[in-house]
Amino acid sequence: MALERLPNAPTDFDFVIGDWRVTHRRLKDRLANCTEWVEFDGEMSTRHVLGGFGNVEDNRLMFPEGEFRAVALRSYDASAGTWSIWWLDGRFPGRVDVPVVGRFENGVGTFFAKDTFGDMPITIRFIWSTSDVDTLRWEQAFSADDGRTWETNWTMDFRRRA
């Protein structure tokens, strides 16, 4: 049984609802002046929760060194007009990543968080975009200098499953 979507629920992330095939590209080493990319496949399925004020994304990532699962949880704060996105990696089931927080403008979602990479303080940026109903793009970038420069270190290109 699917629960009813509330009539005042935000529509920003509606484009991601459904089942997708994913092509991942990730830098082999991050924040190390690396230019070698590793490409691998994946699958993603996303459903509304919280009456449409959130969604849950179930991921299967097929890294060259092995397959694992992960979940993204998104929730909308109507009073702030922002989304928060948390990531839970199945390889580390006791740790949920710090949420990235942001909003959509002109169809592009941009989200930020302060975190650490190793012992280095960083800013994380996610960008979500879509050009049509059957293709999506997500990218992650890190900044070690408070956002003056960015290293895009992971991209995901999505194709809707038939």
Q: Tell me: the pLDDT tens digits for 31-46? A: 999 999 999 999 999 9
Q: How far is CA 107 from CA 70, 116, 124, in A?
A: 25, 29, 20
- Is 99 domain-assigned? yes
Determine the pLDDT at residue 23.
98
- Is 159 domain-assigned? no
- Is 75 domain-assigned? yes
Q: What are the tens digits of pLDDT across the range 75-127?
A: 999 999 999 999 999 999 999 999 999 999 999 999 999 999 999 999 999 99
Q: What is the pTM of this model?
A: 0.95
- Is 160 domain-assigned? no
- Is 8 domain-assigned? no
| Domain containing residue 25 | 15-151
Task: Using the predicted structure, report yes or no on whether residue 133 has a pLDDT greater than 90.
Answer: no
**Separation of alpha carbons 44 and 137, rounded Å:** 13
- Say how many domains are in the chain: 1
- Is 98 domain-assigned? yes
Q: How far is CA 113 from CA 36, 78, 104, 135, 153, in A?
A: 25, 19, 16, 26, 15
Task: Using the predicted structure, report yes or no on whether residue 2 has a pLDDT greater than 70.
Answer: no
- Is 41 domain-assigned? yes
